Amino acid sequence: ILVLGPDSSLGPLIFAAISPLVVAGDVPAKAIALAGMLAVLVGLIEIGLGVGKLGFVADLLSSEVQVGYMNGLAITIVVGQLPKLCGFSTDADSFVEELREFGANFDERNSTALAMGLVTLAVLLVLPRITRRIPAVLVAVVGATALTALFDFDLSTVGALPDGLPTPEVPWTEANDIGPLLVAAVGIVLVSLTDTIALSTSFNARRGEQVKPDREMIGVGTANIAAGFFQGFAVSSSSSRTAVAEQSGAKTQLTGIVGAGVVVLLLVFFNELLADLPNSALAAVVVAAAFSLANFSVLFRVWKVRRSAVVLSLAATAGVIFLGVLEGILVAIALSILLFFHRNWWPRGAVLGRVPGREGWHSDTGDGFAERPGVVVFRWEAPLFFANAGIFSQQVRELVRERKPTWVILQCQAITDIDVTAAGMLERLDNELNAQGVHLAFVELRSRLHDLVRDYGLHKTLDADHFYGSIEEALADIAATPGDG
């Protein structure tokens, strides 16, 4: 089972996409239409990706960059809600301007609204730490609404919900709104699909079922289009609701139909329940949701292992904060791609040898590391392609210059591809080494790449007899070769 619905990670994204397009004085219908159009765009993109078998798109954001993106989003949302939490509003449209205007207008705060917002926020943050059985959001919202109605506080409130069920209609918006909404839709799709596929995989694994990401995308996309045409906003999978449904014994998607029926009852018979909900309390709910997006503790753990990942994560955070939430999506994707190229552009190369008490060949671990005289065994831990071909040849040349071997054995187990640029580099490198009396040998090269080397015509330069199945086989052949053993 997989329960779909409003998601805390998408709420701030949707808010960030719509709020710049709505100005003071606009009727609520415009915001509803914008949210509906955004949901439709999200659905169309998801269905397109599913039909095109492009489920891998969900992996475009690396985990560290996604953490940075979410941290930046959390900071931006919290700062944007500070004026509402204090009972006033600003016209700022950027992070820096929001901070500046909040400080300049802080004297205009409504003390009652601020107190209501802080108490609501405290309930949202503290109650879950005490017990998970009582829904904190329900307690906070009902409590704030009841207090406002009972004591008739002078606070701006949400107002009554629309009476009755929504009728299907096309969410028309202005043409110049489509561009910003489309950019936001791409970001929502990436975040939604990453969560959806991970969630469905984990829950289905318990039941021994396989997940088909493309079908998941089509299903979620269809739900989003339906939401858009019924004046709803983009939806995604919900880990908490799915877990609750499973623990309650749910086995099929009938669970979602029952939940939808309850929502229908609220709209038809209880539409004024939230009329007295203070906007400052609603801002506290948004702030609490933003807090749940942030994860700074993981950066401290990763810093000890891979500092470059933390730097990229912080760069993604800065992109969201200073360039904007929507532009931050593109920054996060670009950084993920940059991280991939960086790890393959500057991979680790290691000289292998024997280590006492251990089988096989290992990189230098200190005492007892032994190499074969006249032979350097070098392991390359990445595909060989245009971006790292020069680095590879440079490292091999340095090894030859420093160690003066007669043989360089390349351990190729981690090499998954050799492009045209790398093939040309290998040909030139082999000629250069042969001129110095050094032979180049290849060990554990994948059969597909061996065929590729032959198709490149490299066997005219690289000796066809210098390809071996193991390091031991290569050393045995070298020992049997006159003048090299």
Q: Are 354 and 361 in contact (CB under 8 A)?
A: yes
214 C-beta neighbours (distance < 10 Å), count: 16
What is the C-alpha separation between 170 and 212, in angstroms, rounded? 31
Nearest to 23, CA basis, from 93, 84, 87, 81: 93
Confidence (pLDDT) at 418: 94
Per-residue burial over 438-456, b = 16 or more CB atoms within 10 Å of its CB, e = otherwise? bbbbbbbbeeebeebbeeb
Q: What is the per-residue pLDDT across 339-348, written as a single tens digit (0 to 9) for each?
A: 777 777 777 7
Sheet holding 467-468, edge to edge: 362-363, 349-353, 375-380, 407-411, 439-443, 467-468
Buried b (16+ CB within 10 A) or exposed e, 119-144: bbbebbbebeeeeeeeebbeebbeeb
Q: Are 48 and 220 in contact (CB under 8 A)?
A: no
Q: What is the pLDDT at residue 393?
A: 94
Give the H or E element holding residue 440.
strand 439-443
Q: Which two tokens stand for residue 188?
A: 């929502």
pLDDT of residue 208: 65
Give 169-188 pLDDT, tens digit per residue. Answer: 888 888 888 988 998 898 88
Contact 56, 190 (CB under 8 A): no
- Say what the pLDDT of residue 340 is: 77
Distance (Å, whole) CA 116 – CA 283:
10
SS3 of residue 468 by DSSP: strand
CATH (residue range 349-480): 3.30.750.24
Residue 197 has a pLDDT of: 72
Residue 29 tokens read as: 């219908």
Beta strands in 13-60 (DSSP E): none
289 phi/psi in degrees, rounded to 5: -65, -40
* Consecutive H or E run containing 327: helix 325-345
The two tokens of residue 365 are 């671990």
Write down the pLDDT at residue 9.
67
* pLDDT for residue 58: 60
> How do the residues of the chain divide into helix, strand and coil, expressed in percent and rounded to 5?
60, 5, 30
Radius of gyration of the chain (CA): 30
pLDDT value of residue 233: 87
Residue 450, pLDDT score: 87
The pTM for the full model equals: 0.65
Q: CB–CB of 450/417 below 8 Å?
A: no
Residues 6+ apart with CB under 8 A from 250: 1
Strand partners, 467: 442
Q: What six digits make up the tokens of 299?
A: 């950066």
Show the low-confidence residues of the chain (pLDDT under 50): 244
pLDDT in tens, 232-283: 888 887 655 665 466 556 667 777 788 788 778 877 877 777 788 898 998 8
Written as one string, the DSSP assignment of 332-400 is: HHHHHHHHHHHHHHS--EEEEEB-TT--S-EE--STT-B--TTEEEEEE-S-B-TTTHHHHHHHHHHHH
Do residues 73 and 327 lie in contact, with contact meaning Cβ atoms separated by under 8 Å? no
Which sequence spans correspond to the domains of the chain? 4-342, 349-480
